[in-house]
Structure 1
């Protein structure tokens, strides 16, 4: 049976780079390999309203939920947690690592050009013009912030011309022996 060399795979990137798709498919591949795990889409852990004052992206709330859910998954036997989220700073990465109780985390950074992201966001937000406009404007802004964050020891994958299966294959090659 294959062995995972990491207990957490945190998939990070700007909007539209394929984080959720990669996490979902990676979870399926780990299951197929017989490696116990779970997938956490942090967007769902922060989905509440109204946003608390000073925390428009509900970061603190998401971390609290992530800690509880990660603990439950690990107690149930998950050896690898696959997490799709946006982490903008080294401090946030450390806080996520602590919330996930990770001792061996692989930080995967997905990137993509704005030209590649636009059709993805259009498909996702085809019924909400305001959301499409916000996400389209947010992509380059967030990509710049991630470029300047100073992340090290990460697996960086440009998803511009890659299918989700290719992205997952690259991640699997890094985490499974």
Structure 2
């Protein structure tokens, strides 16, 4: 989607971040990208951050298999740069398994954080994962993600740290992004001033 960067932008009264969390295969990254498009269409200064990309390094240190310490260090730097550039909304795609992780993200971001959990029934998630991994050369990847999907679903159910929940089972990614935007009310109290 293309955007006219000469259009007036909208400045919100406060900066805020939203973490799209959920099990693997539920649609976090696709939804985050499309939510960014919706915010741009409405002139809301924002940035989209894929948390997996901030910790995509090998090898992982002992005791930190998912590179969480590296993720937080990179998130602190990236979020600071986006805030300095005028972003009023930060949209994150990633996982927070508990309150401690949520709080760590908020501290690194330097702004209030809300959490939106995307859900879907596991049969739908497994179908999405099989489609995603159709061209994998690593035959172990799909079985690992299928197991992880169920495991993480249970972890997130028990954690109960989301402020918003959107069931994506019967929604397209575009419909999911629209539902998330409506739930956040992010465009309800903005003013157009022509500046980022």
- Alignment counterpart, residue 154 of structure 2, candidates 144, 149, 174: 144
Instruction: Give the whole-Å Cα distance in 2 for the aligned partners of 1:15 and 1:133.
Output: 12
Relative to structure 2, which stretch is displaced further, 22-31 or 1-10? 1-10
Q: TM-score, normalised by structure 2?
A: 0.85
- Alignment counterpart, residue 71 of structure 1, candidates 80, 102, 110: 80
Q: Could you tell me whether the CA contact under 8 Å between 2:11 and 2:88 is conserved in 1?
A: no
Give, in angstroms, the shift of residue 120 of structure 1. 1.3
Instruction: Give the whole-Å Cα distance in 2 for the aligned partners of 1:116 and 1:7.
Output: 31
Q: Which residue of 2 aligns with 1:21?
A: 30
Superimposed CA distance per residue, residues 40-77 of structure 1 (whole angstroms, 9 cap, x where no aligned partner): 00110010000011000001110110110000011011
Q: Could you tell me whether the CA contact under 8 Å between 2:120 and 2:168 is conserved in 1?
A: yes
Q: TM-score, normalised by structure 1?
A: 0.93
Alignment RMSD = 1.5
Instruction: Give the whole-Å Cα distance in 1 for the aligned partners of 2:95 and 2:139.
Output: 22
Runs of 4+ residues over 3 Å off in structure 1: 1-6
Give, in angstroms, the shift of residue 123 of structure 1. 2.1
Instruction: Give the whole-Å Cα distance in 2 for the aligned partners of 1:21 and 1:67.
Output: 23
Q: Which residue of 1 aligns with 2:126?
A: 118
How many residue pairs end up in the alignment?
Answer: 175
CA radius of gyration, larger in: 2
Q: Name structure 1 gaps, 5 residues minimum.
A: none
Q: Name structure 2 gaps, 5 residues minimum.
A: 1-8, 189-196
Does residue 96 of the first structure (1) align with residue 105 of the second (2)? yes
